[in-house]
A = this chain, B = another copy of it.
Amino acid sequence: MPDDFTPDWTATPPAPGTYRAIAKMGRADQVVLPSARYFAQLRHELDLAPEFFETKRDGNLPVAEPPACPLDPAFLDSLREIVGAENVETDAYSRVKHSYGKLMEEVVGLKRGELHEVTCAAVHPRGKADVRRIVALCDEARVPLYVYGGGSSVNKSFLPEQPGVTLVMSTHMNRVLEVNELNHTCRVEAGCLGPALEDALNRAPELFGTRHRFTQGHFPQSFEISTVGGWFVTMGSGQASTYYGDAASLVLAVEMISPAGAPDGIINTSDYPATATGPRVLDMLKGSEGALGVITELTVKIFRYLPGNRRYFGYIFPDWTRAVDFAREVCQGQFGLPAVFRISDAIETEHGFQMYPQPPAVEWVLRKRGYLPGKRCICLGTVEGERDFTKLVRSKVGALARAAGGMTITGRQAKKWERDRYTSYLIAEAVTDYDIVMDTVETSVKWDNLHRIHDAVLAHAATVPGSFCMSHMSHFYPYGTNLYFIFAVKGQLEDYVAYRNGLIEAMVAAGGSPSHHHGVGRLMSPWMERFLGREEMAVLRALKRHFDPNGIMNPGAGVGGGHESGANTRVTRSDSS
């Protein structure tokens, strides 16, 4: 096959009103095309002949009218009465857009024009009074209610299973309400997107009259297109979570409106960092994924913003075992933790080196010193906090790296990574115009089952010809970490789904959690009961029954008890009537 072959990539943002616009990952204006080198690598890995690129299905077509909404028009009128007609969208594009997240299954399906059940209306509440009335109305009328934050879900977390309406939180309910410098907390509406919150905190002296500048510490890959409420309900983890903590732990209090006690019942947890007053209701809402109620407001932890103290590091290790041992020593060393901390396995390391080759002299030195392709593993990271603290942690990390046979590669790679942190994954987008899917699955591991799970998933991946799978760790605790698997597979939607589900099955069968930070949604539902057990599932169902007795909140989502094995005690509209 010709070396200079280039597919007909689309380099422009999608046309408005199209399936492609809805399937767009990242910000609408961000288009990242695979480089010639990247494409050559991919062709090699997936064994793709030029003919493979003859058919392009890019979804650049206007969204067709979905099936008519079966809801009573009077019900929609009641919604309009609550939020104003301009805040109830029932056109085809809005209905489809607010039914879909960014799981590759959804993205590819959209590009092929294959429509799942969609919502009847996208409703944009202007504040909590609107939300209260809408929740009460839907509960009364037994109409399913879905919650859409930034739309970056990768697990079909708000994909309608029954016609209903979808609350869009980011349109109006996106304000930073208060920066409390004394308490180091910030009150923010649930629909606030990452950059708006971070910017307000960075500029807190100008906007809120504080003495210090602040940061909120949560920087997921979806940072630019996800909301604070979404971070909390999905239990997300940011790229600096090893230092700042996971999203749910960054929240001190929430306000949630649920059908329980409607129209007056609002859960409003206190923002004490600790109280010994029984099980904390706040904790029960972490990971609730819209199945228990609508989070309207959050009080989040904030930290002094000290970008000048940030230090970068990078190391290469002779092999995966030594890299893992190094990471564990860092996390258990009791000298403080790095912020960003990422270690690639041997496959991902080589993938990176082939994308961004080292000068031959450097490669010669690496091999000479025993850092061999196919075995060596790369690590990169940052340290944040007070100046002397970052110096100390940086130095301890370095000493442990050397003790584990690592060699510094300077902080240059970490800086490059940081520059592209929210966009590099967009190269996965262009290839879906053809029958190629690049996607990820991820799991929690403990140090003592990490290798078993890593081996099991890669062994399964290796059984599928023309596919490709690699892995890294990126969220660390003294007690374990996560494994993030990035894979590419060619074929039809069913081929991708089968491959992906095979990886998940291998992951869970080996003892891994169905998810470390992507959440459950409808994707992971089938694995939930096996992972949690029947008894824990019963507790989640009891919570669901309490908050949402008529089963209107995100019906069918895993957290609400959908897709269980065994006896069907699932709470849905039809069951509860």
Could you tell me if A543 and B542 are in contact, using CB atoms closer than 8 angstroms?
A: yes
How would you classify the secondary structure of chain A's contact residues: helix, strand, loop or mixed? loop
In the complex, which residues of chain B have a beta carbon less than 8 angstroms from the beta carbon of A284? Answer: 279, 283-284, 539
- Contacts A276-B234, A278-B287, A283-B284 given; indicate if A267 touches B183 (C-beta within 8 A): no
In the complex, which residues of chain B have a beta carbon less than 8 angstroms from the beta carbon of A532? Answer: 270, 277-278, 281
Could you tell me if B477 and A559 are in contact, using CB atoms closer than 8 angstroms?
A: no
User: Is the C-beta of A12 less than 8 angstroms from some C-beta in chain B?
Assistant: no
Question: In whole angstroms, how far apart are the Cα atoms of A268 and B444 in the complex?
Answer: 17
In the complex, which residues of chain B have a beta carbon less than 8 angstroms from the beta carbon of A273? Answer: 444, 446, 477-480
Question: In whole angstroms, how far apart are the Cα atoms of A535 and B276 in the complex?
Answer: 18
A: number of interface residues (CB 8 Å): 91
Question: In whole angstroms, how far apart are the Cα atoms of A274 and B478 in the complex?
Answer: 11
Q: How far is the CB of A368 from chain B (nearest CB, A)?
A: 32
Could you tell me if A333 and B386 are in contact, using CB atoms closer than 8 angstroms?
A: yes
**Chain B residue with Cβ nearest A246:** B274
Of B237, B281, B389, B524, the contact of A274 (CB 8 Å cutoff): B237
In the complex, which residues of chain B have a beta carbon less than 8 angstroms from the beta carbon of A279? Answer: 283-288, 540, 543, 559
Q: How far is the CB of A382 from chain B (nearest CB, A)?
A: 14
Could you tell me if A334 and B303 are in contact, using CB atoms closer than 8 angstroms?
A: yes
Q: How far is the CB of A513 from chain B (nearest CB, A)?
A: 4
Which residues of chain A in 261-296 are interfacial with respect to chain B, using CB atoms and an 8 Å cutoff?
261, 265-281, 283-289
User: Is the C-beta of A184 less than 8 angstroms from some C-beta in chain B?
Assistant: yes
- Contacts A183-B480, A276-B519, A386-B335 given; indicate if A538 touches B301 (C-beta within 8 A): no
Q: How far is the CB of A201 from chain B (nearest CB, A)?
A: 14
User: Is the C-beta of A422 less than 8 angstroms from some C-beta in chain B?
Assistant: no
Could you tell me if B274 and A520 are in contact, using CB atoms closer than 8 angstroms?
A: no
User: Is the C-beta of A388 less than 8 angstroms from some C-beta in chain B?
Assistant: yes
Q: How far is the CB of A499 from chain B (nearest CB, A)?
A: 22
Question: In whole angstroms, how far apart are the Cα atoms of A547 and B541 in the complex?
Answer: 12
Question: In whole angstroms, how far apart are the Cα atoms of A384 and B336 in the complex?
Answer: 12
User: Is the C-beta of A533 less than 8 angstroms from some C-beta in chain B?
Assistant: yes
In the complex, which residues of chain B have a beta carbon less than 8 angstroms from the beta carbon of A533? Answer: 267-268
Which residues of chain A in 142-191 are interfacial with respect to chain B, using CB atoms and an 8 Å cutoff?
180, 182-185
**Chain B residue with Cβ nearest A284:** B279
Q: How far is the CB of A451 from chain B (nearest CB, A)?
A: 11
User: Is the C-beta of A358 less than 8 angstroms from some C-beta in chain B?
Assistant: no
Provide the A406-450 mask, 1 if CB < 8 A to any CB of B, else 0.
000000000000000000000000000000000000001111100
Q: How far is the CB of A254 from chain B (nearest CB, A)?
A: 12
Question: In whole angstroms, how far apart are the Cα atoms of A202 and B295 in the complex?
Answer: 45
Q: List 13 A-B contacts (CB under 8 A).
A: A234-B276, A237-B274, A266-B535, A267-B535, A267-B539, A273-B444, A273-B478, A275-B444, A277-B531, A278-B288, A304-B332, A334-B389, A539-B543
In the complex, the 6 A-B pairs of residues with the closest C-beta atoms, listed nearest first:
A283-B283, A542-B546, A273-B477, A235-B276, A275-B513, A335-B386
Contacts A271-B479, A278-B289 given; 15 further ones with Cβ under 8 A?
A: A182-B448, A183-B447, A235-B276, A237-B274, A237-B276, A272-B480, A274-B444, A274-B482, A275-B444, A277-B531, A278-B540, A279-B287, A283-B286, A284-B539, A301-B479
